[in-house]
Every structure is written in C-alpha cells, then in structure tokens.
Amino acid sequence: MSTSVPDIDDSYALALALANGVDVRGVVTTMGNSMVKPTMVTAQATVDALGADVPVVQGAEVWLPVEAQQTTGGVDLTGTCVNDGVRFMADQLRETGGLTILAIGPLTDVACLAMNFPEEAALISRIVALVGSKPTTVFELFGTPLVDFNYIMDPRAEQVILEETNIPFTAITFDLSSLAPIPIPELERLASSSDPLARFYGESSMPRLEMLKEIDFGPAYPIFDAAAAWHLIRPQDQVCQQAGYRLQTGSPATAQAGETDIYDWFSPEITETRQVLSCTGFTSKEAAGRYQNAILRAVGGVGWSDQDVPLNDESPLRTDEWAAPTEERAARTDERAAPTDEGTLPTDEGVGRIDEGADRAPW
C-alpha cells in the first residue's frame, strides 16, 4: 500500500453540490485524511477545475484539546483554535444571517466557531455532517475494520456541538454513505474521457483506485462525502429520522484501526439526549441510482439511466439495508429538508492520505 493516497471524495461532494444549484459560499479546509496545507492545494485545484467562484480558506491544523483547557494562570485558552477558516465562517454567517454548514471532515473548526463566536454560531441553520453510525454497526468494508474517521480525528469537537449547542444537526451516517458505491470501471472511464473535468476527476481518483486494487477491495467504491452533499439536494431520497446520540470520546493520538472504544452512535432508541436527525439509508434502489448518476454527471461523466443502474448487489456492502421509509418517517424527512436556497458553507478537507496500516474510513 502506498503511504500517500489522495482522498478525492470531498472533491466529488463539492462537484455534486455545485452541479445541483447549491449556493456554496466557501470551502474551509481542515486536517483529516491529510494535513491542512496539501489539502488547501487540492481544494483550490478542485475549485479551479470546476470553474467555480468559491473561496477556499485554511482551517484547523490539529484537533481540539482532548479535554477543555479553559485557563492557564487565569488566561482563557478557548480562543487558541481560532484560525482563518473559523473567522471566515463567522464573517459569512454575519453577512448572510444564516447558513447551512456541510461538515465533511472533522468538526474541529465548527466546534471552535461555536465556542468562540456564539452569536454567529446561533445563526447556523443546520449542520449536515458526515459522521456516526447506527449503534453497534461494525465499520467494515469488504472485511476491513474501520473507524469513523471524521469523529475519531476530533471526538471532542462533535461532543461540543452536540452537548454545548442547540444547533440543528443532521448525521449522514456510515450506514448511508457506504450504501451506494460507484463501480470502479465507471471511475476509470472518467480518466479517459475527452471532457477535461471528467479527466481531472478520473485522474485524481487513480491513486485511490490503485490502492483499492492492491488490497483487492472489491468492485465498487462509495464516494462517502457526496452522500452528505446529496442531503442538501434530495433529502426526500434518504431515510432519516429523529435520533439521540451516544458518544464515547478519546484521544485521536491513541485511537487505532478497528477501535471500538471510541464511537458516535445515533439511534431513535436513545432518548436521554437532545434529538438530532440521523440518516441511514436510501428510500429505494431508484433513489440510490439517482444519487449515483448525479455524482458521475456532476464531474462530466455520462452517468447511467435510472433503469439501468449497476448496483453493487453482490458485494459485501450493505445493499441488504435498502429501507423503505414509513409514512411518518418520510414526512419527517420532508419537513426537515435542508433548504438549498440559503447558501451552504462546506468544510472540506479536500484530499487526504491513508497511512500505511491505518485502516480508517477514508472520509
């Protein structure tokens, strides 16, 4: 396995959002799959390839302190996490009076915003985050144990947002984001396309695909982060319901692949916490097909017809979990549909790296 493999998922998420009319106010990068500075380069390259007029601003280089460090000799240290990305989000919230934050990396900068700019944070309409799972879901892809990467890179950040704020929160869980993968040949086809955008995405996906082939990963690859962006566009295609949460925090520095001692679970059966929205599936195979098609079309690919969607039925991925929503659930989902006309501010780590031996969910 190579030691440095770009994680292109965030770039697909941005393309999907822009191609479907989401008013993206900016991209704030953060550490995660990669360090923040190489992520800045990739995020800017992605924005340039898309021809988008979207500012890219650098966010967190490291996670929040594992435990709150409020004072040293009477000095309040809460502000030490503030960076350009956090200030940018605060400025945008003041200017617009309200934004959705699409959080597809660790939640460090969003938590820092909440702690240091409470008036601006109160203007956040909703955080749609790629985090969490159903309780006891084994984070496993093709037999490889994984952890919730966005959570484990900064467990305290999610704790701050869920427990110290009332900002409406939607968790796009692993159960959903791993459900509708794109066949690897479709991604390879992008690289040989005559369309420059398709070629950019295809070629940028090659290191990831090569790595997947090396480990004999399987026939298809889930574009995890795009599932969160899709929630802004067609929430009615996703199975979502009110849920409580259970967090087990720990240190990012000591977490291991396959770690089960650090987790963030969402379930309607957890009633002792505040209730958030948890999305765990697509409403039908047709709904998943719309999503898969939209991803390919957003990056200049040809996509498929809805009648001819090659789903990953024979793979070990969770295609057995297609969940038709109850009427009650569907109503709730519509009610809570994130509006797409109010602007969105993704936090996006853009590109990343899977370190050798660190089998973490690459989102």
Closer Cβ to Ca ion, 8 or 239, answer by number: 8
Closer Cβ to Ca ion, 158 or 225, answer by number: 225
Query: Residues 224 to 243: which contact Ca ion by CB under 5 A?
Result: 225
Least distance to Ca ion, CB of residue 154, Å: 13
By CB under 5 A, is residue 148 in contact with Ca ion? no
Site string for Ca ion, 207-226 (x = CB under 5 A): ------------------x-
Q: Residue-wise over 63-80: b if at least 16 C-beta within 10 A, else e?
A: bbeeeeeeeeeeeeeeee
Q: How many helices (H) and strands (E) does the chain have?
A: 13, 15
Burial class of residue 326 (count of CB atoms within 10 Å of its CB; 0-12, 13-18, 19+)? exposed
DSSP state of 217: -
Taking CB under 5 A as the criterion, the residue among 5, 6, 8, 10 binding Ca ion is 10
| Token pair recorded at residue 281 | 């599936």
Closer Cβ to Ca ion, 150 or 159, answer by number: 150
Closer Cβ to Ca ion, 27 or 311, answer by number: 27
> In terms of Cα–Cα distance, which of 341, 346, 345 is closest to 21?
341
Least distance to Ca ion, CB of residue 236, Å: 24
Closer Cβ to Ca ion, 148 or 349, answer by number: 349
> In terms of Cα–Cα distance, which of 136, 130, 170 is closest to 150?
130
| Token pair recorded at residue 340 | 């797409």
| Token pair recorded at residue 39 | 């992520």
Region of 49-57, 63-71, 231-239, 349-357 interacting with Ca ion (CB under 5 A): 349-357
Q: Are strands 124-129 and 99-103 parallel, antiparallel or unpaired?
A: parallel
Site string for Ca ion, 282-321 (x = CB under 5 A): ----------------------------------------
* CA 14/CA 9 separation, integer angstroms: 9
Closer Cβ to Ca ion, 105 or 343, answer by number: 105
Q: Are strands 144-145 and 99-103 parallel, antiparallel or unpaired?
A: unpaired
Query: Residues 92 to 111: which contact Ca ion by CB under 5 A?
Result: 104-105
Contact residues: Ca ion, CB under 5 A: 10, 104-105, 225, 349, 363
